[in-house]
A = this chain, B = another copy of it.
Amino acid sequence: MSVATASRVLGGGNRSVAPENARKVVEAATRLRYTMDAAARAMNRGSDAIALVADDLATPAVAAVVAAMERQARTVDAFVTVSSTRGLPELQAATVRTLAGFRPRALVLTSTRISHESPDTRVLDELRAFERNGGRVIVYGSGSVQLPFDALAVDDRWSARLMGEHLARTGHRRAIILAGTRERAYAAARTSGYVEGLLAAGADVQDIRIVNCEVSRQGGFDATAQLIREGLDGTDVLVAINDTVAIGVLAACRAAGLDVPGRVSVTGFDDVPLARDLTPGLTTVALPFTEIGVRAIELAVRGRPEGGGPARETFRGSLIVRGSTGVLRAPG
């Protein structure tokens, strides 16, 4: 048999091969435990890989999406590899560039540090270059809507508004929002969502205070400890930018002997797996990670759409009420 024939039957081309020869090739391949060289294959027609670039694999939001992507990818003969970059723009750009060299079918980027406001365009340049060479690019995350790629956006503002409204409706009036830092793309969106919701359901803008903190358990802990030292006076609720921060808030309250939700309510965002196992259970907002992961693969696999701009899909969260928030006043 010739190389060409073998390539046709193994590589799955459109050209037809005589059934007998095909059988012979397959048999020989299994006999020699032969596998196609993915590297060489990728050189001509691109590989079946879908590469995901994230900030940190340990964050639940990423892990959940990755799991869904893996599962979905199996159904379309693709496979997923993941790289993390700690959110550093330089590493992101380098990683995208390196991965692009392997000619994957698609590149999926998710980062909390990228938005239309961030002036760093290195990553975006790399992504554009990859797309120009025929690759598909999908971005997922809060700031992704403004980017010139297929985007899976989370409507953080809308989702946070749910929380704000719920809090105000259950009688919370004086809120402190632990808003994280500016570099997180979702920070501003969630914060304004919280505020909007609180106002819409009866709170007064003067009773809302916004405090920045590092986005980590320690950041939440430190900020809360500081607030407690300064005196929380009438504060009804500590609204954290995400669950990780909220966990720090809860720890600080516990350390200070502050009853939650008796003395103050606490809320998070993301619904990490362990949120229900905290004491009290954390009131939070759940995001449809599985759906997002599945959709990411679907977008990655389908060819580039003919006309029009990039695809844009928005996902919304849902409120999960647990024990960390009380009812201060009957809902009106």
Interface residue ranges, A against B (CB under 8 Å): 33, 35-43, 47-49, 51, 56-58, 60, 63-64, 66-67, 70, 74, 79-84, 86, 91, 95, 97-103, 129, 217, 247, 250-251, 254, 273-274, 276-279
Contacts and interface: CB of A to CB of B under 8 A. Distances in A.
A295 to B, nearest CB: 19
Given A58-B64, A67-B58, A278-B278, A38 B79 contact: no
Contact of A103 (B39, B83, B276): B39
A96 to B, nearest CB: 10
Contact of A82 (B83, B103, B277): B83
Contact of A43 (B37, B83, B91, B279): B37
Contacts of A101: 35-39, 41
Contact of A33 (B36, B95, B129, B278): B129
Contacts of A82: 57, 81-83
Interface of A is mostly: helix
Contacts of A273: 58, 217
Nearest to A83: B81
Please tell me how many copies of the chain the complex holds. Answer: 2
B35 A97 contact: yes
A70 B51 CA distance: 16
Contacts of A67: 56-58, 84
A60 B272 CA distance: 13
B217 A277 contact: yes
Nearest to A40: B43
A196 to B, nearest CB: 30
A310 to B, nearest CB: 22
A79 B93 CA distance: 13
Contacts of A100: 35
A98 to B, nearest CB: 6
Contacts of A217: 273, 277
Interface centre among A41, A43, A47 (most CB of B within 10 A): A43
Q: Which 6 A-B pairs have the closest CB atoms?
A: A38-B101, A279-B279, A39-B42, A81-B81, A58-B63, A82-B82
A317 B249 CA distance: 29
Contacts of A83: 70, 79-82
B84 A51 contact: no
Nearest to A272: B274
Contacts of A43: 37, 39-40, 43
A3 to B, nearest CB: 16
Given A42-B102, A81-B81, A279-B279, 20 more contacts: A33-B129, A35-B101, A36-B101, A37-B43, A37-B101, A38-B101, A39-B42, A39-B43, A48-B98, A57-B57, A57-B63, A70-B84, A70-B86, A74-B91, A79-B83, A79-B95, A80-B83, A81-B99, A247-B274, A278-B279
Nearest to A274: B274
Nearest to A59: B63
Most interface-central of A39, A95, A254, A278 (chain B CB within 10 A) = A39
Residue from the set A63, A97, A254 with the largest chain B CB neighbour count within 10 Å:
A63
28 contacts: A33-B129, A35-B97, A35-B100, A37-B103, A38-B98, A38-B101, A39-B42, A39-B101, A40-B43, A41-B101, A49-B102, A51-B81, A57-B63, A58-B64, A58-B67, A63-B63, A67-B84, A70-B83, A70-B84, A79-B95, A81-B83, A82-B82, A82-B83, A102-B102, A250-B277, A274-B274, A274-B277, A278-B279
